[in-house]
Structure 1
Amino acid sequence: MSFASDQYYEGAPLPRAFYELPALEAAPRLLGHTLVRRTEDGEIRCRIVETESYGGVQDKGSHAFNGRRTARTEIMFGEGGVAYIYLIYGMYHCLNVVTGTENDPQAVLIRAVEPLTARDEAMMRHHRGAAARRPVDLSGGPGKLCRGLRIDKSLNGQSLADQGGPLWIEAGKPLRSEDIMQSPRINIAYAEEYAAKPWRFFVKDNPYVPLLDKNISRYKPS
């Protein structure tokens, strides 16, 4: 079963209808697609290999839980297809893809990416500014990948559906649903009963994905 590319042509921007999906549907479907960052040094292309779903006002792990609308979360209540970027611990940026329809706050956290070529990897290492002995050290985590791709809050609200800007997503190579694993999300004990929901999705046996949870199972599409 071809999963990540669905009916999209490799290298083409994902259709806007894709971003209307609820986060729980969009999160596994984003795996295998290509995140593109344009810098003054050239473009960096990476395969999305790990995501987490944060969807709806009922999700206690979401910034928009219970309909919370602040200057930071307001972007989640808009139409899907834009970047939602915030800072954690005062030093690490996190990239999210806003999905869903207006006034229904949905977002997918991009947790890990894999550079497509040696040149992409070299550019990420240069921007990362830290030693990365293993693939997972380079871009296996939301803060790491944002540093490697020079993603910060200046890109908050950037359209991800339009090629040619500083940041966008293109359709990648087909990915079988059998190659996708799932587990509970990371570091959200505050989400109470929602902390155990298996809403983290990642590519099986990918070296850029940190295996941070033992409660891992094969993804079962609904």
Structure 2
Amino acid sequence: MKLKREFYNRDTVEVAKDLLGKILVHSVGGKTTSGKIVEVEAYKGIIDKAAHTYNGRRTERVEVMYGKPGLSYVFFIYGMHYCMNVVTREEGIGEAVLIRALQPVDGIKIMSERRYKVPFEELKEKQVINLTNGPSKLCKAMDIDKRGCNGIDLCEDILFIKEGHKEPFDIGISKRIGIDYAGEAKDFPWRFFIEGNKFVSKIR
């Protein structure tokens, strides 16, 4: 069952928590890959110094964050990596959830070719874990980039999120990663992850 727009049109922190265990799917060039969302971070716009839309900032880069809930916001960092976010709240607010890590579900051989340029069978266990255990890693493995995926409606059929298996899990909570520049916002407890999952990017 694909998530409906109403799912995304809620408080960003609640959406972030509820995304855990859901399945991100991308179909492109006749290839489909998917992964279970195991780690996320919430970014709350105008009040959040770590958000690209802090204090109401509006640029061409971030305009999609002000769009309708359920759009994808993909940005480029360090001149080489992409990161995927899910736009939340009603149109005009500018909040989103960063997808930080996935557990591969479908298309793992395709992911291996994209990430390592070698057959999946040749990977060591650590390489398998590293396929999608970070925001830029999962974008590379899932072929998610700004040119093809920024602003896509996640309620449609190319890039979307669907319900996962109803497996119980505990939610871990921590400060977000890599935002030491963000003043008091660096200490907001808005990173959420599935406790004990080996695909989480940074284990406490």
Which residue does the alignment assign to 1:122? Answer: 109
Match of 1:149 in 2: 142
The answer to which of 18-27 and 124-133 deviates more is 124-133
CA distance in 1, matches of 2:3, 2:95: 17
Cα displacement (A) at 1:121: 1.4
Tell me, in whole angstroms, the C-alpha distance in 1 between the residues paired with 2:164 and 2:180.
33
Match of 2:6 among 17, 27, 36: 17
1:161 counterpart letter in structure 2: C
Equivalent position of 1:207 in the other structure: 198
1:109 aligned to 2:98? yes
Does the CA contact (< 8 Å) of 1:22 and 1:106 recur in 2? no
Cα deviation for residue 127 of structure 1 reads 1.1
Conserved 8 A contact 2:100-2:134:
yes
Note if contact 2:100-2:201 (Cα within 8 Å) is conserved in structure 1: no
Measure the CA separation in 2 of the matches of 1:85 and 1:210.
19
The residue type paired with residue 155 of structure 2 is A
1:35 aligns with 2:24: yes
Equivalent residue number for residue 9 of structure 1:
none
Partner of 1:180: 171
Equivalent position amino acid for 1:79 in 2 = K
Counterpart of 1:45 in structure 2 is 34
Q: Distance in 2 between matches of 1:175 and 1:72?
A: 37
Q: How does 1:81-100 map to 2 (within 5 A)?
A: 81-100=70-89
Letter in 2 for 1:101: E
Shift of 1:122: 1.2
Q: Normalising to structure 2: TM-score of the pair?
A: 0.91
- Number of residue equivalences: 197
After superposition, give the CA deviation of every residue in 1:174-206 in whole Å (9 maximum; x if it has no partner).
254x51111100000011111011111111111
Counterpart-to-counterpart distance in 2, 1:137 and 1:130:
14
Task: Kindly provide the amino acid, as one letter, of the partner of residue 114 in structure 2.
Answer: H
3-state SS in 2 of match to 1:139: coil
Structure 1 residue runs of 5 or longer lacking an equivalent are 1-11, 215-222
Query: 3-state DSSP class of the match of 1:143?
Result: helix
Q: Percent identity?
A: 41
Q: Tell whether the 8 Å contact from 2:37 to 2:99 is kept in structure 1 after alignment.
A: yes
Consecutive unaligned residues of structure 2, counting only runs of 5 or more, are: none
Amino acid at match of 2:98: L
| SS of residue paired to 2:85 | strand
Q: Residues 94-136 of structure 1, C-alpha deviation per residue, up to 9 Å, x if partnerless? A: 000001011111100000011114xx21111111136764243
* CA–CA separation in structure 2 for the residues paired with 1:40 and 1:116: 19
Q: Given the alignment of the two structures, is residue 56 of structure 1 paired with residue 45 of structure 2, yes or no?
A: yes
Aligned mate of 2:132, from 112, 136, 139: 139
Contact in 2 for aligned 1:83/1:160 (Cα 8 Å): yes
Q: Retained in 2: the 8 A contact 1:136–1:210? A: no
Task: Map Cα deviations across residues 45-64 of structure 1 (whole Å, 9 max, x no partner).
Answer: 21111100001301011000
- Residue 130 and residue 62 in structure 1: after superposition, are their counterparts in 2 closer, same or farther (change >3 A)? farther
Deviation track 1:147-171 (CA, whole Å, cap 9, x = no partner) reads 0011101210001112x22x11111
* Root mean square deviation, CA, Å: 1.5
User: Aligned partner of 2:20: which letter?
Assistant: L
Partners of 2:201 and 2:73 in 1: CA distance: 23
- Counterparts of 1:181 and 1:150 in 2: how far apart (Å)? 28
Divergent runs of 4+, >6 A: none
